[in-house]
Amino acid sequence: MFKLSKKIQSLPPYLFLEIDKAKRKARQEGRDIIDLGIGDPDQPTPAYIIERLNQAVLDPATHRYALDQGMPVLRQAIAAWYKERFGVILGAENEILPLIGSKEGIAHFPLAFLNEGDYSLVPDPCYPPYKGGTILAGGRPYLMPLVESNGFLPDLKKIPQNILKKSRVIYINYPNNPTSATADAGFYKEVVDFARKNKLIVISDLAYSEMCYDGYRPLSFLEIEGAKDLAIEFHSLSKTCNMTGWRIGWACGNQELVSALAKVKSNVDSGIFSAIQLAGVTALEGQGEHVKRMCALYQERRDTLIKGLNLLGWNVSAPKATFYVWIKIPSKTDSLKFSSLLLEKANLIVTPGVGFGKYGEGYIRMALTVPKERISEALERLKKI
């Protein structure tokens, strides 16, 4: 009866919705499911953040429309955190834009710069909104393969000139979802030079910068000389402070890029609930000890999973960051079939690599968002099959 637009029809199925359907069905059947699929922290939001929200909600001033550009106190807190964490100086007035979670900003940003037929350079495998946002803006994703032999970094030299001439933006995401790969300053300098030469906007997704292990500390792309001339970076409190359901993040970087995204957002939403913004300030100001505890927790889970998988002969390396483990499938079946097999035979939910793009085929992703005891149980189930 109703005909969907060509843009909607061209969107791939959203992977996590499909996984959630399978999970709900299995649980309705009474099965004991261990969910290593979606990266949603299992620990609660810290109590001090919840208490600040409780206080703010009681103030009638927070019940009105929020400012589209975010509360000044939140933008100032973000600027202070970026300076302390990365040594990056940001203007709170014009280089920071709070978001209803970084996902919506990443998805909306292409609307500001892509015209019909323009290309965006998208890593593959990748977080799905990079492709989805491009398609909804009328653009075309050009896939940059992330392969193990290149450390899951895109090989910029392999992008054809005829594509580069029509490209407007390039996405980078390190620490990376789903591969857990990291990038160093050398790669980031290469991206700055590449973007400047080809007149590209760099979109840096830094959502996993605080989930890191073994003494490793990820960089911000904005730390690199010249990066702020051509980049916008996205960050979030979702993973860092266990606030996925709260929907609070931000974009920062080049003033023109931030302003363009703000113009898009002013036409599609009315800002973050002010009480959540005030809780976000508290989260930014007090996250030091919380982040240390979470990293220690995830590292313990990571070590349990890696040791167990390697004892099973899976040959998996320990990631330095994120709370994901990217695993080459120890069989010749495809990732969807392998994931279905684990659900059917072991009651385990994992994410098939192909759901992140065609170059994710041959892999699965496991999230460290269940207790260590459940990870040990998952390993016992894998032994049996």
Domain annotation covers residue 1: no
Final residue in a domain of this structure, among 287, 303, 330: 287
CB within 8 A of 220, min separation 6: which ones?
82, 85, 86, 88, 204, 206, 209, 233
pLDDT value, residue 192: 98
Considering the domain architecture, whether residues 96 and 191 belong to the same structural domain is answered as yes
Per the model's pLDDT, the better-predicted residue between 181 and 25 turns out to be: 181
User: Same domain for 347 and 272?
Assistant: no
Residue 203: pLDDT band by 50, 70, 90 thresholds? very high
Output the average pLDDT for the chain: 95
Residues 6+ apart with CB under 8 A from 267: none
Question: Does residue 182 surpass a pLDDT of 80?
Answer: yes
In this prediction, residue 280 carries a pLDDT of 98
Structural domain boundaries, residue 145: 47-287
Q: Which residue from 327, 326, 302, 323 is spatially nearest to 314, judged by alpha carbons?
A: 327
Looking up residue 40, the CATH number of its domain turns out to be 3.90.1150.10
Q: Give, in order, the Cα–Cα distances in Å from 228 to each of 82, 84, 88, 239, 300.
A: 13, 17, 10, 24, 36
DSSP string of 200-223, one letter each residue = -EEEEE-TTTT-B-TT--PPPGGG
Please report the pLDDT score of residue 219 as a whole number. 98
* Percentages of the chain per state (helix, strand, coil), in multiples of 5: 45, 15, 40
Residue 281 sits in the same domain as residue 295: no
CATH of the domain at 261: 3.40.640.10
* Whether residues 109 and 164 fall in one domain: yes
Strand order in 363-367's β-sheet? 324-328, 363-367, 351-352
Pick 192 or 384 by higher pLDDT.
Answer: 192
d(CA 21, CA 30): 15
Other Cβ atoms within 10 Å of 267 Cβ, number = 9
pTM equals 0.96
